[in-house]
Structure 1
Amino acid sequence: MSFFMYLHIKSGIINILIVVTVFLFTVQFQAQERKTFFIKENDPVKIVYDNQGTTLDSIVSYLLADDLERVLSWKPRVLKFNGDLDLENAILIGNYKSKFIKTYVKDTINSNFLSQSESFFTGLRKNVNNAPNFIIAGTDARGTAYGVFSISEQIGVNPWYWWADVPTIKKNEIRINATDKYSNEPSVKFRGIFLNDEDWGLQPWAAKTFEPEISDIGPKTYSKIFELLLRLKANTIWPAMHPSTKAFFHYSENPKIAKLYHIVVGTSHAEPMLRNNVDEWKKSYGKFDFKSNQETILKYWDQRVKEAKDIHGIYTVGIRGIHDSGMEGVSSTKEGAELLTTVIKKQRELLSKYNEKPINTIPQAFTVYKEVLKLYDFGIDLPQDITLVWTDDNYGYIRRLSDSLEQQGSGGSGVYYHASYWGRPHDYLWLSTTSPFLIKEEMLKAYEMNARNMWILNVGDIKPASYEMQLFLDMAYDINPFLEKRSIINHQQSFYENIFGKDNAHKITALKNSYYELAYERKPEYMGWSQTEPTTPVKATAYNPYNYGDEINLRLGYYERLGNVSDSIYKSLPVELKSTFFQLIHYPVKGAMYMNQKHLYRDLAEKYEQSNRVEANVFKDKSLAAYDSIIYITEQYNLHISNGKWNHIMSMQPRKLPVFDKPSIDISISESNPMGISYQIEGYVDKGSELPTFYKGFGDSYYIDVFLTKQGKEKWHFKNLPKYLKVSKHSGLLESDNNKYSERIKFSVDWNLISKEDNINTVFYLRVGSEIFPIKVNIQDYKEVNCNECFYEKNGFAVAYAASGFQENTRGDVVWKPVKGLGYTSSVMQAVPFKMKPLDTLHFSRNHPKLKYQFYTESITDTAKLVLAALPSHPLTKNHKVRVGVQWDNEEINIVNFETYGRSEEWKQNVLRNLAIKEMNVSLKKKGKHTLTIYMIDEGVALDFIYVKTNAETLPYSLLEETNNKIKYQ
């Protein structure tokens, strides 16, 4: 072959390749176009729903039309299918197996999809004339609804468009991704919310603002709630049931609305057989005592089962007291368990009486709540088809889950979880502060333990817990995205980006996670250090303004920064987003800030009064101002945002508990010397004239305060400062007329300036007016300070800031896994996997994964304390406890159990501080290196941090650091 012939052939091949490439690109482009469904004003689309379909098909068709109008400013026509097969440029809505949809979708579908519940198909299909139509078809009515609302989200209508006033961006046209999609079946079968403790928000808002025609939560309110549930791909409601609200069935339209929306109606643990005892059990009926009043109670239940036989319902079985109280009329656990078995048998007879379906196909739930757990464990005859619903302890930690035997029941199991709670030791009904990381971890634990039949979230009034509700229901619908490490951060950023845009999403996510982190340590509702049931008065907090870097001002500083960030974002937003930001972000952040300021400024006023600091009166005024600020922002919420739409939805003092009261502060300053001085105390008692010890290589920083003790002005300055001591300020002037009542001077050591000749433990002087105060400097050196993963005793404490700071982590079939976002340290070490049995307590060194820590101490004592801090979680199953094996140096292994019982005082303190603490004695027989080994026993244990202390002083309450401005969860 000649060279020129070769070139000719090659040129031809290249031309062919070019033609083929262009052709393939064109085909690909055309295919891509065919997978996009356009909606334009000049080519109006129609929405057509199946004339043989369900009522929900019609409802979601009209809601989709409304959503399109929100985007396009014009509303498509909604039509009922009339048999016309020439439909074009239409959105067709119906059941996938219906004749209507089959006309257009002739694909051979995997039988797995057809057998799925609550699933949907979306895609483009052509009519007989080759004109495009967009199909939304579900395997059932709710599946169709979820498909419709997935399209609403795609076009930019947020599920919270109404409940949080999220605006919709206007467009001239809409492009819907029309690539075929077959959704998966939901991860959890029944997914929903419990409206509870509605007395201070939802009920007064519905009664006075939204539904005044009946002065209550009625069908108008429920239709909005049901729409929200469907948009969030949920399906279940436990209706509001407090005395302020009439029973759900009191208004005949309520169950009708539920039936129209295909919402499953259940009831709480205290409301058997869809009855609201608080409203519906009349005094004339006698005692709610099945033992002595069986006939009346059965008649009472019979009426409701008959009335509800045509609605979608889950029947709570069993019996408790009238309202969240123990069973009446029984004198022993044995008697209670036997009676409960009888009650459930009778209830199932009623269900069979009014339902043609087999009893094992009628949804029933048995909620193991409070004292019911004791009866269940004693032994009741619970049919296997009844769903076993486990509960958290009301504070976010699941009390127990099904073991391998319990998991075999055909009814499966579920979880009733709280994001809002009324009760002992203290309510949290005002602001929602349950950590998303905790929600994720506890519900992943539940899912892994096969609690997949029912997830119900107590959301209180809905409004405060909007994001928590979104997260919980998203997990219940599709657990898979939450198996990823950064799933919570990703979920938050996606949630906020869809509302406030990409530029604001990261800032808001960081802001809210700092908000959760501070509340994790102490919720705003707990800042009075008071309790309820019985209710106690407020008292001083456990935060200390002198110890550990000034815990009070550190916490105040963090909250002030959050408030400033929230203010900044709020001001930068366009007017149409301000109301939404106020509801979801600004009010909770500023409310938490003001509540902390109210109590912590009061603390400063009272503690500074003891030193005769004139400034005490300043902090008294700040405390009172914070209270006034809570009033102001609550009035904004109720009266001004969204033109008064939410009037009466927010109360700043649910149940009027003492923590919400205006602070009572009585300050009296006895003016004496013009100025005073106070020292930072680190670890042990204030020696009055010396700084805590500086340790080489640790970057320690300490402070003293100089302050006025009477009105006027005074100068201060230092004398004889050692050259190696760095000081933030050498002299200053305090003036009451300029509101400069005190000054904090910080000290650190420049170790490069210390020579062998220096007297490193020396004294310098502070001159205040005519007085001179000697101040001693102490310096200490560790020879092995280069150990990055070691912990050192300093000023009487050896602090392991996080259990994740281990030196060694052995692995096996079970492991210690770091979990980000949890605990005071935002990084706990958790024993996993959950499906394993507890390890034995006989062969630690050979069989148990272990964490090793290294400590260096400077004390020799037999009375040192090892303090272990963990999440206040509960045993994973009835076969577990909350144990670890603990070995100090080469001494014998001790078993430490974090388990608490009932509503003990230990449990109360654990949930109020969100921490479980156990102490054990350790012996420091020598200075220098010590080894701590923690052996795994029970899966589910989550270690937070560790202390070794050599004195009797109290532990710090907080783990905040002045320099720790980073977001710890990242």
Structure 2
Amino acid sequence: MELFASIVFLCFVISGTTAIGQPASITFSETEGALKLGGTGQAPTIIIDSKDWAGVARAGNDLANDFGLVTGTKGKVTSGTSGLSNTSVIIAGTIGKAPLIDSLVSAGKIDVLNIKGKWESFTSTLVEKPVEGIGQALVLIGSDKRGTIYAIYDVSEQIGVSPWYWWADVPPKKHEALYALPKAKTQGPPSIKYRGLFINDEQPALTNWVKTNYGGVYDSRFHAKVFELLLRLRANYFWPAMWASKFHVDDSKNGPLADEMGIVMGTSHTEPMARADKEKVKPWDWKSNQRILKKYMQDGATRSKSWEVVWTVGMRGDGDTASPTLDAKTLVDVFSAQQNILKSTLGVSSLNAVPQMWCVYKEVGGYYQTGMKVPEDITILWSDDNSGNIQRLPVPAEANRIGNAGVYYHYDYVGDPRNYKWINTIQLSKTWQQMHLAHQKNATQIWIVNVGDLKPLEIPISHFLDMAYNMDNFMKPDSTDEWLASWALREFGSNVAQGTAEVMATYGKLVIRRKYELLNMSPFLYSITNYDEAEIVLHEWVDLQIKSQALYSQLDPATQIAFFEMVLHPVMAGRIVQQVYINAARNKAYATQKRMSANELAADVKAAYAQDGIIQKRYHGLLNGKWNHMMDQIHFGYNNWQDPSANTMPSVTTISTTAPSSGLMGVSVQGSAASAPESTLSLLALTPYTPENRTIDIYARGSGSTDFAVASSSPYISITPSHGTISYPSGTSTIRATISVDWSSAPNGNSTSTITITPTSGTPVTLSLHLNNVAVPAAFKGYVDSAGAVALEMAHFTSRTASSSGASLEVIPNYGRTHSGLTLLPVGAGTQTTAAGPAAVYSFYSFASASAARIVAYLPPSFNVNPASPLKLAVAVDGGTPVAVSPVPSSTLGTMPSGWSQSVINGVRVVKIEVGRVEPGAHELKVWLLEPGTVVQRLVVDLGGVRDSYLGPPESVKVGF
């Protein structure tokens, strides 16, 4: 990623632009042939024909204001062309709507053949003497209303105004001069026709904020801000908040405003015919109340007939529920009635050009499963499982539908297994994999994502909409890393961009392990005893916060606010929640060992829990309370899917400070919950290839103090520290001693030594330590077994074999819970075989025989998006017969496959594949991914030594690389 990001930065520095993934047409330094648009004391006149769309004029005024934000001098908007000989000029207009633009086209001064008649496309170019009295102008030409609007906002972004300048307080980048480059630029049509957001689950946070700022109504003032954001992000489609709101009823200006600004309105999967859920008539039942429901739907069509709408068709039950009386046959009748209403209301005989959408959501999928016929002109909107895993995509028989297909995706959800509504918990690389798959499977008519309260999801929203606008920029598996670097450069500047990209890529790996609201599930997810898992995870969060804070400290105060909102706050808030739950679990575990650190951890949990309120207050106090209430969402103390009534700290245990009769000192070792001197302990075995340190915890079990000394029976084993003092409540209650071995002096093969910890008072503790001083052959290249386990990260293969068909196995960086993913590309490669398909080879060396070895595969909780071609992988050891596995059980639409709940809770589906006997020596594990969409996060070769943990063993030692 670092090399790629450096190249990206170089391109931005050369061009001067801060727009993401778009060709540059603006620079900040004088260039031959360039037109100076603005600078200190200078700003352009923006000419927009009075006959053009009102939304174009509105965007033009925004651009004029943006010049003021960047240079200190606002632009001027006019519809006339006289008296402009001594000013810089931008002309913006729509083909067929702006006579000035049409005259330039007719005069041959602009070539629009590459955009004319295309959806939401534009060209920008310098034109000499566009009209008398103007020597040169930057001309922005749109194929339609939004094409022109995007052209205008493209200039805004390039001069230094982020789409998030208001919603995330990104300060405009100041420049002394702005120039238009002497080259034409063309963009569009977008990859996805309708691209948008669904504000949902908007209580308490967003609704409380709206109450404070807009009197409790999601009115046209609120929506003006949302619509501007959408257009600056090159989106065009919107589902409004609906829990307690009625878009058209709450403010009669909402509908006209959307149409004026250029937003295509829709409604959610449970709100047919452009009417809000809270408008529904009772009973909401087609079979018993068909006449009233038809009128209800007719009224919706009549109200919105003059505006751009994607009409939601079909129906569900009352509210976001299944209907007790609806079935496939009835739903076909509903389609027919709705389409008749649309034809008569819109005055058309065919609906082929009228956008309609039916969302296959939850129980509705069961109707489709029966073979029901959906009219060809209706877009089938396939849904994910509410957790970012798309359930179904178009299959060959659905490929040529007039209405095509789309995807309804989630960044927020209320429901099983638990709500997730608080802050950003999205792994961008996973979103890329799912949406790239959707794009390649031709689900390209609609992409809409549920964004909850909108505000805490700035980064994944930007990523989603940038993909939807131009998927050509996202065809490579590492494109998300490239995008993150570009995004951070635009928002925060080059000095922190690379570090910010790395922070957010790491954040994605940490949050996908489990949503915050699920962390208190029992049993606790991270192991306290094995692989130091819980402590390592906490250290990862602490290290991430330290890095984020260091980046924050490099920024000017204005940029710090935006960085806090989008980067530092989620990292800090996430670290706090993780610290609370991890240390609460450690507290309980250490209390059983009578460690005094259990009491210290209890205090730490309480302090960290208090920090949660402090950081919430800090967020709410930004900019004199601009975002007050945005962090109101409950996020501690869930015990089922629904929100608790209040945040609740997990319980902690405080233990007696009276030392046991066996003495003040206690000892514990990795891999065991027992403690000495009451129990006899053995340290986990060590080899030269053990990936983690071996440590001993020496701790106080009551009030008081004692010195101790640690000694080994073998001179080649050393312990650091070799002595110390444990003390409670003052001083250090726990000291961790680390064992190291001089392998050049240790005996070859197996040996056993002892380590004795002797306190000045109390009972000495003697531990046994087994060593296996072995060596792999010098020529070996690959992973090395440690204690009967070999953990592999997918990017670290020994080699890859290619396919004659052009298919290959490619690494998705920063994917999954630990490192990266491996997937089959291109998606169009189709089903592969182990005989001819591409494979990845992972060499490993084992030191002991295993009679029943198995490969533990960690996969994402994906679905079989084509039921006829389920996800599939195969493995083989040492050229043996490949063992093929379809990891996702078959299921019907409207139901979830077996194991789904646990897989989305854990962010992974674990599959164990038996591979038979493995003898000591060098081996070759070969992996095939046989269906597009199959991804593997990591593999563990279990030779009998894998211990229980959540993430699996740490990556094994590699040699020869």
Match of 2:150 in 1: 146
Give the Cα separation in 1 of the matches to 2:603 and 2:389.
39
Report the CA distance between 1:540 and its aligned residue: 4.6
Report the CA distance between 1:568 and its aligned residue: 2.7
Give the Cα separation in 2 of the matches to 1:937 and 1:172.
56
Match of 2:815 in 1: 822
- Structure 2 contact 790–955 (Cα < 8 Å) conserved: no
Match of 2:196 in 1: 192
Picking from 756, 764, 769, the partner of 2:760 is 769
In structure 2, do the counterparts of structure 1 residues 166 and 937 end up closer, same or farther at CA, with 3 Å as the change threshold? Answer: closer
In structure 2, do the counterparts of structure 1 residues 922 and 87 end up closer, same or farther at CA, with 3 Å as the change threshold? Answer: same
Match of 2:609 in 1: 627
Report the CA distance between 1:762 and its aligned residue: 2.0
Picking from 444, 467, 470, the partner of 1:475 is 467
Report the CA distance between 1:269 and its aligned residue: 1.4
In structure 2, do the counterparts of structure 1 residues 305 and 858 end up closer, same or farther at CA, with 3 Å as the change threshold? Answer: same
1:198 partner letter: E
- Structure 2 contact 423–456 (Cα < 8 Å) conserved: yes
Give the Cα separation in 2 of the matches to 1:236 and 1:462.
15
Report the CA distance between 1:752 and its aligned residue: 1.6
1:462 partner letter: L
Instruction: Give secondary structure in 2 for the equivalent of 1:798.
Output: strand
Picking from 549, 553, 559, the partner of 2:541 is 559
Matched, 1:957 2:946: no
Matched, 1:119 2:121: yes
Instruction: Give secondary structure in 2 for the equivalent of 1:134.
Output: strand
Report the CA distance between 1:37 and its aligned residue: 3.0
Match of 2:693 in 1: 701
Give the Cα separation in 2 of the matches to 1:85 and 1:503.
40
In structure 2, do the counterparts of structure 1 residues 86 and 247 end up closer, same or farther at CA, with 3 Å as the change threshold? Answer: same
Give the Cα separation in 1 of the matches to 2:918 and 2:432.
44
Give the Cα separation in 2 of the matches to 1:170 and 1:802.
44
Match of 1:307 in 2: 303
In structure 2, do the counterparts of structure 1 residues 678 and 941 end up closer, same or farther at CA, with 3 Å as the change threshold? Answer: same
- Structure 1 contact 804–829 (Cα < 8 Å) conserved: no
Give the Cα separation in 1 of the matches to 2:529 and 2:765.
18
Report the CA distance between 1:161 and its aligned residue: 0.6
Matched, 1:443 2:435: yes
- Structure 2 contact 542–575 (Cα < 8 Å) conserved: yes
- Structure 1 contact 594–626 (Cα < 8 Å) conserved: yes
Instruction: Give secondary structure in 1 for the equivalent of 2:507.
Output: helix
In structure 2, do the counterparts of structure 1 residues 697 and 671 end up closer, same or farther at CA, with 3 Å as the change threshold? Answer: closer
Matched, 1:569 2:551: yes
The structure that is helix-richer by fraction is: 1
Give the Cα separation in 1 of the matches to 2:137 and 2:873.
62
Match of 1:379 in 2: 371
Match of 1:532 in 2: none
Picking from 661, 666, 675, the partner of 2:648 is 661
Report the CA distance between 1:721 and its aligned residue: 4.3
Match of 1:226 in 2: 227
Report the CA distance between 1:559 and its aligned residue: 0.9
Instruction: Give secondary structure in 2 for the equivalent of 1:39.
Output: strand
Give the Cα separation in 2 of the matches to 1:134 and 1:269.
43
Give the Cα separation in 1 of the matches to 2:737 and 2:772.
21
Report the CA distance between 1:501 and its aligned residue: 1.4
Picking from 669, 672, 678, the partner of 1:679 is 669
Report the CA distance between 1:587 and its aligned residue: 1.1
- Give aligned-pair identity as a percent: 27
Report the CA distance between 1:526 and its aligned residue: 2.1
TM-score (norm 2): 0.89
Give the Cα separation in 2 of the matches to 1:920 and 1:759.
30
Match of 2:261 in 1: 261
In structure 2, do the counterparts of structure 1 residues 849 and 41 end up closer, same or farther at CA, with 3 Å as the change threshold? Answer: closer
Match of 1:589 in 2: 571
Instruction: Give secondary structure in 1 for the equivalent of 2:227.
Output: helix
2:313 partner letter: V
Instruction: Give secondary structure in 2 for the equivalent of 1:767.
Output: strand
Give the Cα separation in 2 of the matches to 1:711 and 1:764.
26
Match of 2:706 in 1: 714
How is 1:518-537 mapped onto 2 (pairs within 5 angstroms)? 518-529=510-521
Report the CA distance between 1:788 and its aligned residue: 5.1
Give the Cα separation in 2 of the matches to 1:624 and 1:148.
52
Give the Cα separation in 2 of the matches to 1:826 and 1:773.
39
Instruction: Give secondary structure in 1 for the equivalent of 2:874.
Output: strand
Picking from 335, 343, 349, the partner of 1:352 is 343
1:546 partner letter: T
In structure 2, do the counterparts of structure 1 residues 893 and 355 end up closer, same or farther at CA, with 3 Å as the change threshold? Answer: same
Match of 1:650 in 2: 631
- Structure 1 contact 190–235 (Cα < 8 Å) conserved: yes
Match of 1:7 in 2: none
1:562 partner letter: L
Give the Cα separation in 2 of the matches to 1:577 and 1:674.
52
How is 1:36-51 mapped onto 2 (pairs within 5 angstroms)? 36-40=35-39, 45-51=44-50
- Structure 1 contact 151–176 (Cα < 8 Å) conserved: no
RMSD: 2.9
Match of 2:211 in 1: 207
**Greater shift in the superposed pair: 488-497 or 661-670:** 661-670
Matched, 1:316 2:312: yes
Picking from 448, 452, 472, the partner of 1:460 is 452
Match of 1:873 in 2: 862
1:337 partner letter: A
Give the Cα separation in 2 of the matches to 1:132 and 1:558.
56
Matched, 1:544 2:527: yes
**Greater shift in the superposed pair: 585-594 or 722-731:** 722-731
1:115 partner letter: G
Give the Cα separation in 2 of the matches to 1:622 and 1:769.
30
Report the CA distance between 1:604 and its aligned residue: 1.0
- Structure 1 contact 876–939 (Cα < 8 Å) conserved: no
Matched, 1:326 2:322: yes
How is 1:46-85 mapped onto 2 (pairs within 5 angstroms)? 46-81=45-80
1:300 partner letter: Y
Give the Cα separation in 2 of the matches to 1:236 and 1:908.
31
**Greater shift in the superposed pair: 518-527 or 125-134:** 125-134
- Structure 1 contact 682–795 (Cα < 8 Å) conserved: no
Give the Cα separation in 2 of the matches to 1:738 and 1:462.
47
Report the CA distance between 1:873 and its aligned residue: 1.3
- Structure 1 contact 69–76 (Cα < 8 Å) conserved: yes
Instruction: Give secondary structure in 2 for the equivalent of 1:292.
Output: helix
In structure 2, do the counterparts of structure 1 residues 39 and 935 end up closer, same or farther at CA, with 3 Å as the change threshold? Answer: closer
Report the CA distance between 1:827 and its aligned residue: 2.3
Unmatched 5+ residue regions in structure 1? 1-29, 331-335, 530-538, 965-970
2:157 partner letter: E
1:89 partner letter: S
Give the Cα separation in 2 of the matches to 1:170 and 1:829.
42
Match of 1:389 in 2: 381
- Structure 1 contact 267–275 (Cα < 8 Å) conserved: yes
Q: State the Cα deviation string for residues 437-480 of structure 1 (Å, max 9, x = none).
A: 11112111111111111111111111111011111111111112
**Greater shift in the superposed pair: 234-243 or 718-727:** 718-727
Match of 1:403 in 2: 395
Instruction: Give secondary structure in 2 for the equivalent of 1:509.
Output: helix
How is 1:417-436 mapped onto 2 (pairs within 5 angstroms)? 417-436=409-428
Aligned length: 906
Match of 2:11 in 1: none
Instruction: Give secondary structure in 1 for the equivalent of 2:542.
Output: helix
How is 1:902-917 mapped onto 2 (pairs within 5 angstroms)? 902-903=895-896, 906-917=899-910
Q: State the Cα deviation string for residues 732-757 of structure 1 (Å, max 9, x = none).
A: 1112243411011111222122256x
2:346 partner letter: N
Report the CA distance between 1:575 and its aligned residue: 1.6
How is 1:796-815 mapped onto 2 (pairs within 5 angstroms)? 796-802=788-794, 804-805=796-797, 809-813=801-805, 814-815=807-808
In structure 2, do the counterparts of structure 1 residues 171 and 76 end up closer, same or farther at CA, with 3 Å as the change threshold? Answer: same
Q: Which has the higher contact order (CA 8 A, sep 6+)?
A: 2
Unmatched 5+ residue regions in structure 2? 1-28, 636-641
Report the CA distance between 1:226 and its aligned residue: 0.2
- Structure 2 contact 380–403 (Cα < 8 Å) conserved: yes
- Structure 2 contact 312–356 (Cα < 8 Å) conserved: yes
Picking from 558, 564, 587, the partner of 1:605 is 587
Instruction: Give secondary structure in 1 for the equivalent of 2:287.
Output: coil
Give the Cα separation in 2 of the matches to 1:155 and 1:648.
32
Report the CA distance between 1:361 and its aligned residue: 0.8
